[in-house]
Structure formats: C-alpha cells, structure tokens
Amino acid sequence: MLAVDPQITASELLRIFHRDEPYLFLGAAFTTVAILAAAFSVLRRKVDSLAVYFALFAFLYGQRLWVQAGLLEALVPHSDILERLRSGIDFLVPIPAFLFFEAAGLLHRRARILGYILEILLGSLALVTFTFGPSTVYHQINNVVVIIALIVLVIQSLLNPDRSRDFVVIRRGLLIFVAFALWDNIAGAFRHGSKIEPFGL
C-alpha cells in the first residue's frame, strides 16, 4: 500500500509527477516493447536469442526508469530494500545489451572476451549492492567500465569491413544508442562524484 509523506503537499506531488512524466512514459514504452519482443519469440516457438536479450534489456531499462522515479520515492516509505534495488538495477541493464550485441554478431573475439569480463564485473557489483547497499565507488566503476566498453564497440564497428546495407543501418542505430549511453554514463560519473550515497542515475 502506498503511503504518501504527509509533509508533501498536493502541488509538490503534482510537480514531481510532471517532472517524472517523460521517464514514466518511457518506462511504460520500454516495458511494452519488452513484452512484445518476448511474445514474438514465444509465438515463433523457437528460441530467438536476439529477441530474448532485447526483451530483457528493454524490460530492465523500463523498470529502471520507473523504480528510480522521484514519484516512487515520494509515494513509498523509505526502505533499505528499495534503495538497494534502485541502485543495483543500474548494473544489470548493460548485461543483456552486450549479450544482444554478441548474438547479433557485432562483437569479434577480443570484444566478446571484454564483454564476458564486463558481465561478470557488473553482475558482481549488482550482487554486492543488493547485499550490502549502494556505494558511490560501485557506480564510478560501472560508469568507467561501460564507457570503455562502448568506445571499444564503436571502434570495432567502424573498423568492420562489411559495407552491406543492413550493416550500415545497424551501425547507425548502434552509434545513436552509444551516443545516448555515453552521455548517460559520463553525466552519471559526475553526478555520483558529487553525492555521498547515491541511489542511481
């Protein structure tokens, strides 16, 4: 049951809602896309790793937008479990994204090895956060590692000799995704650097 802080007025709650509107909408959109991708895989009666990893990524990203919204913080009483969830979900989002890139054939041997190391590291950070609570250091490690991995992904994509139309379209989409992800992680690195105990991007 939701318990609104009695010190928050209706106008403040409405202001928080309006500020969070884009994130709530995008969270719903990503979650819907995740359900559709998963349903597509089920309807085909064949395990499609691309659809599965894409669905996992979209679902986690959508839930991240919801769980880190200021509206949830205003409506739900403070709890350690919620703070750990809000912080730990940051580390889980990139894992299915890199699995998707691998399944799509966008990663060569060295990049795949880097991806496996990244997945183990991020999974460990998520586990430590869920167990012991959030830490600025964990988020700084996450931001630096993801930034490096994204730069490697872009360089590898640009050096790929494949010039087919499909690959060009995929690469353009990849570059747009990487641009937003880089901005998110670079801004996050500075944001977490100015906080004592952050809860997420």
Tens digit of pLDDT for each residue in 102-124? 887 777 777 788 888 889 999 99
Residue 86 lies in a domain: no
pLDDT grade for 177, boundaries at 50, 70 and 90:
confident
The reply to whether 66 and 96 lie within a common domain is no
At 169, the amino acid letter reads V
**Confidence band, pLDDT 50/70/90 cuts, at residue 167:** low
Give the C-alpha separation, 135 to 35, whole Å.
32
- Examine the domain organization and report whether 101 and 195 are in the same domain: yes
Report pLDDT for 200.
38
Taking the C-alpha atoms of residue 116 and residue 98, their distance in angstroms, rounded to an integer, is 9
Q: How many CB atoms lie within 10 A of CB 94?
A: 23
Least confident interval from 75-84, 101-110, 122-131:
101-110
Domain count, the chain: 2
Domain identity same for 115 and 154 = yes
Query: Is residue 67 located within the same domain as residue 138?
Result: no
Q: Do the domain assignments include residue 39?
A: yes
Domain membership of residue 83 (yes or no) is no
Range of the domain at 182: 92-201
A 10 A CB-CB count for 179 gives: 12
Tell me whether residue 26 is in a domain.
yes
pLDDT of residue 33: 92
> Are 107 and 172 in a shared domain?
yes
Confirm whether pTM is higher than 0.75: yes
Q: Give domain status of residue 128, yes or no.
A: yes
Amino acid in position 164? S
* pLDDT of 153: 80
Q: Which tokens is 148 given?
A: 């490096």
Residue 82 lies in a domain: no
What is the per-residue pLDDT across 33-71, written as a single tens digit (0 to 9) for each?
A: 999 989 888 888 777 888 899 999 999 999 998 998 888
- In-domain check, residue 33: yes
Q: What does the alpha-carbon distance between residue 34 and residue 65 come to, in Å, rounded to a whole number?
A: 14
Give yes or no: residues 12 and 42 share one domain. Answer: yes
Mark whether 118 and 64 lie in a shared domain: no
Kind and range of the H or E run holding 7: none
Domain boundary among 77, 107, 127: 77
pLDDT: is 125 or 164 the higher one? 125
- Residue 166 covered by a domain: yes
Give residue 20's pLDDT: 86
Residue 40, helix vs strand vs coil: helix
The verdict on 98 and 66 lying in the same domain is no
Last residue of some domain: 77, 100, 123? 77
Task: Return the higher-pLDDT residue of 105 and 138.
Answer: 138
Mean pLDDT of 146-151: 85
Pairwise pLDDT comparison (23 vs 169), residue with the higher score:
23
Per-residue model confidence (pLDDT) at position 5: 55
Taking 50 as the threshold, does the pLDDT of residue 201 lie above it? no
